[in-house]
Structure 1
Amino acid sequence: METSKLSKFSAEFLGTLVLVLMGCGSAVIAGANGTTGVGLLGISFAFGLSVTAMAYAIGHISGCHINPAISIGMVIAGRMKISEAAYYIVAQVLGGIAGAFILLQIASGKPEYSLAANGLGQNGFEALSPQHYSLHAGFIAEIVLTFIFLLVIFGSTSTKNINGGFAGLAIGLSLTLIHIVGIPVTGVSVNPARSIGPALLVGGQALSQVWLFIVAPIIGAALSALVWKTVLEKN
């Protein structure tokens, strides 16, 4: 029986909500350095574990894209129709906003929390970069990291891969690896929906910079899909 559009839409909405709530939440609520926080490694694993968990929870329903860049990459690779990708992307963006909104309600329960000062795990470059990396560095990082992430997704979900049952684990671990390297540069997006939600609620500079975290991941995904389709999996 074919899965309904509503089921797929709901799965992508909820999956993206969980990714933003848990991933960005690890940075906002539990990410402080020292004995009271999980630090960079903890945040990296929070993002990776969120994707792994959702892959096994909703992967059989929607494929667990929870990322517009993935859906666009799937279209370019010939694995998805544009019409289906369109409502996936709507669900993902709405899920990202909902996840950021829930995170704001939780974080605001601490008297010391300030949206302006503490944010919602939004991405950024230059002054908003965790270690003040430039726009140029951030743009390249987001393209390359998304490229690598999509290669893992294409390979692990390929019908030619005899270890396809471990796809969720491979994808989650690759996202963890990407965050370990990329958090100091931009906070790591590789996912427009993950960036749009926090940026909309934080506003200001975060919102003015969100274009990079929409454009660069899409470019990285498109390049990855083309390389996979024309070089790596070409008969």
Structure 2
Amino acid sequence: MKKYISEFIGTFILVFAGTGAIVINDFSGGAITHPGIAIVFGLVVMAMIYSLGDLSGAHLNPAVTIAFLSRKEISPRDSLGYIIFQVLGGVSSSFLLKTIFPENTSLGMTLPSISPGGAFIFEVLLTFILMFVILHVATGAKEKGFMAGVAIGGTVCLEAMFAGPVTGASMNPARSIAPALAAGDLTHLWIYIIAPVAGALLAVAVNSYLKEE
């Protein structure tokens, strides 16, 4: 149970800091800026990996959990528990932000500024890159080690920096589900659920091919 609670706490903090930066940027008239938001996402992911990596692996992302499940590095039972608590953590955080900033209607939602098809491809590729990095710095299903937090957090920051204006650079179904539910807008949510999972599984397949003897 402690692993699940760790995933709840980690995803809660991820969504609170990351989408909170977007909400506060709107509230303050752009004080944080787009690069600032990207840095916040990278830093909070890095911080949670170093804080929770030894407890749950700090997945904080259903797509990452599903990818490790496909590699049989996490049990089906644990993967289901992780995903449930990740989503609950994110949703709790978004509703808290809604309570604090009732005038904000988007709550940091991920919305495409290009066609849905283009956004889908973008999110597949973004999550592929993220999961590819994770697979090369993680120990089994545990994202830990001296450089894991820097590498993964840095990748999140990098992708949020260049792709944020295009799709919101979600790479994480829980991160997108949470503000969409709180804001009551599920229009494009399918992109941010299916594409990250597809991208993470593609990274697993490519990584397996590269490491085949």
TM-score (norm: length of structure 2): 0.93
Q: Residues 103-158 of structure 1, C-alpha deviation per residue, up to 9 Å, x if partnerless?
A: 112223xxxx342xxx1010122xxxxxx311111001100000000011000114
Q: Which residue of the partner structure matches residue 17 of structure 1? A: 12
Amino acid across the alignment from 2:37: I
Q: Residue 3 of structure 1 corresponds to which residue in structure 2?
A: none
Check conservation: 2:38, 2:160, Cα contact below 8 A: yes
Q: CA separation in 1, counterparts of 2:206 and 2:181?
A: 33
Retained in 1: the 8 A contact 2:24–2:32?
no
- The separation in 2 between residues aligned to 1:82 and 1:227, in whole angstroms, is 22
Larger Rg: 1
Structure 1 match to 2:111: 124
1:232 aligns with 2:210: yes
Cα distance in 2, alignment partners of residues 191 and 91 from structure 1: 14
Aligned match of 2:137: 156
TM-score, normalising length from structure 1?
0.85
Aligned pairs for 1:102-181 (under 5 A) are 102-108=96-102, 113-115=103-105, 119-125=106-112, 132-158=113-139, 164-181=145-162
Letter in 2 for 1:226: A
Q: Distance in 2 between matches of 1:32 and 1:43?
A: 13
Q: Answer yes or no: is the 8 Å Cα contact 2:127–2:199 preserved in 1.
A: yes
Other-structure match for 1:216: 195
Instruction: Report the Cα offset of residue 82 of structure 1.
Output: 1.7
- The count of aligned residue pairs is 210
C-alpha separation in 1, matches of 2:28 and 2:94: 22
Q: Deviations over 1:62-114 (max 9, x none)?
A: 00000000000111123222221111000001011011011112223xxxx34
Note if contact 1:68-1:192 (Cα within 8 Å) is conserved in structure 2.
yes
Over the residues paired in the alignment, what is the CA RMSD in angstroms? 1.7
Question: What is the distance in 2 between the residues matched to 1:32 and 1:45?
Answer: 18
C-alpha separation in 1, matches of 2:26 and 2:158: 17
Q: Separation in 2 of the partners of 1:33 and 1:97?
A: 23
Distance 1:31 1:167, change over 3 A: farther
C-alpha distance 31-149 of structure 1, shift in aligned 2 (>3 A): farther
Q: Deviation string for 1:9-48 (max 9, x for gaps)?
A: 10000100001110001011135797x5121110001111
Q: Name which of 16, 23, 31 aligns with 1:37.
A: 31
Ranges of 4+ aligned residues in structure 1 off by more than 2 Å: 30-34, 232-235
Percent of aligned pairs with the same amino acid: 40
